[in-house]
């Protein structure tokens, strides 16, 4: 088998790259180790920045997004029984965010690729990368028990933090930075209408909580919990008790309960691999960087990577220039580190750190006070939340 660009991973990054390249007449094959049903239904992030929405719309993927996406022009932050609204529309000249689940983006992309006769191969096993020091790298994998080889001009590693792509780069060539946080998020998907018209972030005496939504009839709620916690420790009753206690800290606001459809615990980490290119292998999305979900940057950073990578690969095919490939890492990293910084800021502001002493606690309270008093501070948060365009 042969193609121009071999793409590992059928998440938003890999599928969007395949779509963008196809619009330029560049062929690709996407390999995915999960089933189509799995990738279309795994619940992940749901906040799209303005720039992400604009890009998806520009490349023909905005019809269902515009019809079903929930546009928001603010968020609410609660701290010490006070609430402060960040007004995106006022502070960013009318920009906002759109709530539209990652799995819905994936469904739209798969539908578009199949309609264009794009090559998507699901349920592959034992993917490995070879010949990275040559001009014709290759991918080997098992499909239905049969060994396959795919030769490519380029390989795009869009296979997530635990994927094979980054691990295929020689260790002495990798430049990576990471930080693990002393807590995790317990997330639940609930069959209930939203309790608020916008996302609610809360810093409470017992820890962080977030009330979000996925549709007019489905909400997503999160609780800070220990990093080694188990779902066995969280009965439905305990979850609702903690959510009520952490979120209902202002008058006349009540959290709506419903049937819990899904539970999961997500560790919190920050990670950046600055080696996003090694010869003909290029990393994008979670394969290169992870952010705490507090800042809602994960999928948006992946989309931004792919927009840059698409242009770099296109320049090589259309003009024979490697300049954009050579600057790919640097161009992406500017935005990535801004996203890491914002995610760290939101995480610091909203969580209870187990080892925090009274000095740190007062610094946190002072930051919230500054945020609620200063229009400049609110504007800075709003600009980073809606994203660079």
- Structure tokens belonging to residue 71: 């546009």
Rounded Cα distance, 15 and 159, in Å: 11
Query: Could you give the dihedral angle defined by the CA atoms of residues 70, 159, 190 and 352, in that order, rounded to the nearest 10 degrees?
Result: -100
- Residue pair 295/43 in contact by the 8 Å Cβ criterion: no
Q: Which of 278, 293, 328, 351 is catalytic?
A: 293
Q: Is 297 a catalytic residue?
A: yes
Listed in sequence order, the DSSP H helices in the chain are 12-23, 36-41, 50-58, 63-68, 88-91, 102-115, 164-167, 236-247, 298-319, 323-326, 328-350, 358-373, 375-386
Q: Which of 19, 72, 95, 289 is catalytic?
A: 72
CA dist 351 → 26, 31, 76, 365 (Å): 45, 38, 15, 11
Q: Which of 222, 278, 328, 385 is catalytic?
A: 385
Which parts of 198-324 are beta strand (E)?
199-204, 207-215, 218-225, 259-273, 277-278, 281-283, 289-290
Q: Which of 19, 211, 289, 297 is catalytic?
A: 297
- Structure tokens belonging to residue 239: 């979850």
Q: Which of 181, 201, 278, 328 is catalytic?
A: 201
Q: Is 173 a catalytic residue?
A: no
- Residue pair 54/31 in contact by the 8 Å Cβ criterion: no
Rounded Cα distance, 251 and 295, in Å: 26
Q: Is 293 a catalytic residue?
A: yes
Active site residues: 72, 201, 293, 297, 385
């Amino acid at each position: 088998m042969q193609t121009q660009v071999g793409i590992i991973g059928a998440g938003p990054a890999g599928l969007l790259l395949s779509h963008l390249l196809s619009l330029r007449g560049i062929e690709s094959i996407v390999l995915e180790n999960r089933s189509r049903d799995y990738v279309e239904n795994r619940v992940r992030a749901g906040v799209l920045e303005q720039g992400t929405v604009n890009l998806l719309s520009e490349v023909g993927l905005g019809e269902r997004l515009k019809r079903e996406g929930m546009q928001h022009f603010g968020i609410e932050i609660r701290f010490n029984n006070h609430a402060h609204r960040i007004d995106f529309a006022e502070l960013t000249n009318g920009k906002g965010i759109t709530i539209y689940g990652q799995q819905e983006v994936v469904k739209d992309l798969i539908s578009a690729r199949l309609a264009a006769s794009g090559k998507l191969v699901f349920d592959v096993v034992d993917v490995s990368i070879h010949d990275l020091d040559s001009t014709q790298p290759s991918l080997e994998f098992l499909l239905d028990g049969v060994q396959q080889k795919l030769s490519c001009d380029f390989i795009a590693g869009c296979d997530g933090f635990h994927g094979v792509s980054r691990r295929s780069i020689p260790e002495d060539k990798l430049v990576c930075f990471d930080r693990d946080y002393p807590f995790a998020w317990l997330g639940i998907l609930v069959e209930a209408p939203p309790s608020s018209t916008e996302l609610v972030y809360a810093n409470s005496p017992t820890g962080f909580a977030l009330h979000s939504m996925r549709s007019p009839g489905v909400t997503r709620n999160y609780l800070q919990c220990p990093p080694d916690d188990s779902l066995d420790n969280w009965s439905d009753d305990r979850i609702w008790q903690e959510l009520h206690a952490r979120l209902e800290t202002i008058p006349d606001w009540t959290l709506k309960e419903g049937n819990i459809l899904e539970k999961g615990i997500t560790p919190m980490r920050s990670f950046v691999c600055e080696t996003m290119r090694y010869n003909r292998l290029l990393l994008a999305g979670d394969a290169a960087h992870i952010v705490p979900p507090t800042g809602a940057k994960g999928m948006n950073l992946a989309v931004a990577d792919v927009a840059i990578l698409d242009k770099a690969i296109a320049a090589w095919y259309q003009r024979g220039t490697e300049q954009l490939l050579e600057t790919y890492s640097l161009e992406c990293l500017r935005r990535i580190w801004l996203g890491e910084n914002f995610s760290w800021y939101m995480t610091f502001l909203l969580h209870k750190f187990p080892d925090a002493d009274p000095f740190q606690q007062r610094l946190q309270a002072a930051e919230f006070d500054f945020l609620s008093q200063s229009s400049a501070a609110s504007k800075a948060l709003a600009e980073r939340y809606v994203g660079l365009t």
